[in-house]
Amino acid sequence: MNLVVVSNRVARVKANEPMTGGLAAALLPVVEKSGAIWVGSSGRVRDGATKDAFADIEPLGEGAIALLDLPAAHYGGYYEGFANSALWPALHSRSDLIRVSLDDYRSYREVNAFMARALLRFRKPDSAFWIQDYHFLALGEELRKLGVTQPIGFFLHTPWPSRDVMNGVPNHRELIEAMLAYDLIGFQTENDCQNFASYLKSDLGLKIENNVVTSRHGTSRLAAFPIGIDVDAFAANAARAISHPEVVRLRKSVDDKRLVIGVDRVDYSKGLVNRIKAFDRMLAINPSLSRTVSLLQIATPSRGAIEAYEALQTELSRVVTEVNGRHGEVDWTPIRYLSKGFSQTMLAGFYRTAQVGLVTPLHDGMNLVAKEYVAAQNPVDPGVLVLSKFAGAANELDTALLVNPHDVDGMARALSMALTMPAPERRLRWEAMMKKLRNGTIEQWSSSFIAALEQTRTAEPVQYCDFPKRKAAADLTVH
Ligand code: G6P
């Protein structure tokens, strides 16, 4: 099978460059090992919607990356507009932040149609298309309009909200009907899958049997495929990274004190303001912790041209300054706040250095930082993961200290507990999480999805909203 993977953002090919968002990091090893071609936006735009020149095709492991310049007239309405000011807030249950116009929707559809035309050059008789994320909900329908008959699968990296929230998205009906052109629609969790199924039943009046929905497009299968990481590679990377000069500098600066780490894109779904408030509260409740613990918050700027993101950056700077002003001393800064990205290798070393990983999104499809923090730990002296129960990762990492990210006091208590947890308990919790991570690696994620996509062309049903049964390893190889 010739696999064509499509996403808006693609990874940078050069090793050790910062990567924005979990999607790019997750897909990198999939493409490297499977030999797929990965098509995405070059980040540049080009005049004239019909010109679709690729800026670049670069080899990536066994596969390749193809970067496409998107049409200038529609890029803003597509990316900042419909994708990130209508779909993203709705998918994270923040309908109050939806700001969108009909023109934005039109641009979104134009870019989906443009991408479909560009993909034709990669089509071979044995191709299969695997479309990623909310930027391309309608791409399957556009490919079908162009006569593509090959299997097309779709995976959503974000949550899928309840049906009333989706009803707040302009043109939701047309868009979700278009999604049914996909043969397979994958979600991070069963809850997301069930929310989607509930929309199909209640709003579109469709019947779903054995996880298969029938529409004017034919049949589509729905299933949950929780995304994972390459656990052993990440662990080995973390062990090596400990001697990286930047990591050595961090360790020296922490000395015999303790470090709590948070790593996120600046996004309202990540719960960053409440997290800073929880750290503040912890210092207020336990004055004895003053000078003994600091928070390293890496906050990579994101989507800065959108008002809600700009406002969040301003608010975060204000809250961090307040907390540092209140608790800091001439020779101690409680919160080290860095507005930039770091390479995966450096992050792995930072995770291993920190005694606590603080991952507290208000809503998150999966959250791979949580998984990476766990994988990076030293087995004899592992750190503690404090994790929001509203991250998809909480389904698997249920021996983390699970918190409600809206409850600042509760998070402050969990933080104190994490900082004082005895080693035997830390090891027990960590071992249980590692076992889960090894049972759901990135390799298993992609193999399961591709196997299920191939099965859509056979009559064999898979269990409704269940993680698809794994086939024998030999059957799962991606070609
Ligand atoms: C999330 C989305 C990805 C996106 C990433 C970074 O992880 O699910 O699709 O690529 O954020 O966002 P950006 O808008 O910078 O690509």
CATH number, domain containing residue 102: 3.40.50.2000
Q: Is 52 a catalytic residue?
A: no
Residue 476 is predicted with a pLDDT of: 26
For ligand 1, say whether the CB of 429 is within 6 Å of any of its atoms.
Answer: no
- Cβ atoms 133, 8 nearer than 8 A: yes
Q: Which of 6, 84, 133 to mutate to test the pocket of ligand 1 (most atoms within 8 A of CB)?
A: 133
Residue 11 is predicted with a pLDDT of: 86
Q: How far apart are CA 96 and CA 362, in angstroms?
A: 15
- Both tokens of 410, joined, read 């509760």
Confidence of residue 22 (pLDDT cuts 50, 70, 90): confident
User: Regarding beta strands 293-300 and 335-338, do their DSSP bridges make them parallel or antiparallel, or are they unpaired?
Assistant: parallel
Residue 468 inside a domain? The answer is no
Residue 433 inside a domain? The answer is yes
Residue 477 inside a domain? The answer is no
Confidence of residue 360 (pLDDT cuts 50, 70, 90): very high
**Among 23-27, 97-101, 424-428, the least confident range:** 23-27
Q: For the segment 82-103, what is each residue's pLDDT rounded down to a tens digit?
A: 999 999 999 999 999 999 999 9
pTM of the model: 0.94
6 contacts: CB under 8 Å, gap ≥ 6: 38, 39, 40, 115, 119, 129, 130, 131, 132, 136, 139
Confidence of residue 53 (pLDDT cuts 50, 70, 90): low
Residues 198 and 258 grouped into a single domain? no
Residues 448 and 431 grouped into a single domain? no
Residue 461 inside a domain? The answer is no
Classify residue 469 by its DSSP letter: P
Mean pLDDT of 405-424: 98
Mean pLDDT of 137-153: 98
Residues 353 and 255 grouped into a single domain? yes
Residues 171 and 137 grouped into a single domain? yes
Mean pLDDT, rounded, of the chain: 93
pLDDT at 41 over 70: yes
Q: How far apart are CA 446 and CA 261, in angstroms?
A: 29
pLDDT at 65 over 70: yes
A 10 A CB-CB count for 97 gives: 17
pLDDT at 52 over 80: no
pLDDT at 471 over 80: no
Closest CA to 188 of 307, 366, 348, 46: 366
Residue 204 is predicted with a pLDDT of: 98
Q: Is 327 a catalytic residue?
A: no
59, amino acid identity: P
Residue 163 is predicted with a pLDDT of: 98
> Mapping DSSP to helix (H, G, I), strand (E, B) and coil, where does residue 415 land?
helix
Residues 188 and 295 grouped into a single domain? no
H helices of 21-126, in order, are: 22-34, 72-76, 88-91, 102-119
For ligand 1, say whether the CB of 157 is within 6 Å of any of its atoms.
Answer: yes
Residue 82 inside a domain? The answer is yes
Residue 171 inside a domain? The answer is yes
Residue 473 inside a domain? The answer is no
57, amino acid identity: I
Q: What are phi and psi of 17, to 5 degrees?
A: -100, 150
Interior/surface letters 344-366, b for 16+ CB within 10 angstroms, e for the rest? bbbbbbbbbbbbbbbbbbbbbbb
Q: How far apart are CA 59 and CA 13, in angstroms?
A: 8
- What's the angle, vertex CA 63, arms to CA 340 and CA 449, rounded to 5? 85
- Cβ atoms 451, 471 nearer than 8 A: yes
Element (H, E) at 470: none
Q: For the segment 248-301, what is each residue's pLDDT rounded down to a tens digit?
A: 999 999 999 999 999 999 999 999 999 999 999 999 999 999 999 999 999 999
What is the C-alpha R_g of the chain?
Answer: 22
pLDDT at 13 over 90: no
Residues 268 and 208 grouped into a single domain? no
pLDDT at 469 over 80: no
Q: Whose CA is nearest to atom 4 of ligand 1?
A: 21
* Domains held by the chain: number: 2
Mean pLDDT of 182-207: 98
272 contacts: CB under 8 Å, gap ≥ 6: 262, 264, 266, 297, 299, 312, 316
Q: How far apart are CA 412 and CA 430, in angstroms?
A: 21
Confidence of residue 1 (pLDDT cuts 50, 70, 90): confident
Return the ligand 1 atom nearest residue 84 CA.
Answer: 14
- Could you report how far apart the first and last alpha carbons of the chain are, in Å? 5
For ligand 1, say whether the CB of 302 is within 6 Å of any of its atoms.
Answer: yes
Q: How far apart are CA 351 and CA 372, in angstroms?
A: 8
For ligand 1, say whether the CB of 181 is within 6 Å of any of its atoms.
Answer: no
Residues 300 and 174 grouped into a single domain? no
206, amino acid identity: L
- Cβ atoms 146, 118 nearer than 8 A: no
Residues 223 and 371 grouped into a single domain? no
Residues 219 and 264 grouped into a single domain? no
Residues 165 and 241 grouped into a single domain? no
Q: For the segment 433-457, what is each residue's pLDDT rounded down to a tens digit?
A: 999 999 999 999 999 999 999 999 8
Q: For the segment 244-261, what is each residue's pLDDT rounded down to a tens digit?
A: 999 999 999 999 999 999
pLDDT at 56 over 60: yes
Q: What are phi and psi of 69, to 5 degrees?
A: -80, 125
Residues 189 and 245 grouped into a single domain? no
Residue 471 inside a domain? The answer is no
Residues 125 and 15 grouped into a single domain? yes
Confidence of residue 460 (pLDDT cuts 50, 70, 90): low
Confidence of residue 464 (pLDDT cuts 50, 70, 90): very low
Q: Give the domain extent around 360.
A: 231-438
Helix %, strand %, coil % for the chain, to 5? Answer: 45, 20, 35
Q: Whose CA is nearest to atom 3 of ligand 1?
A: 23
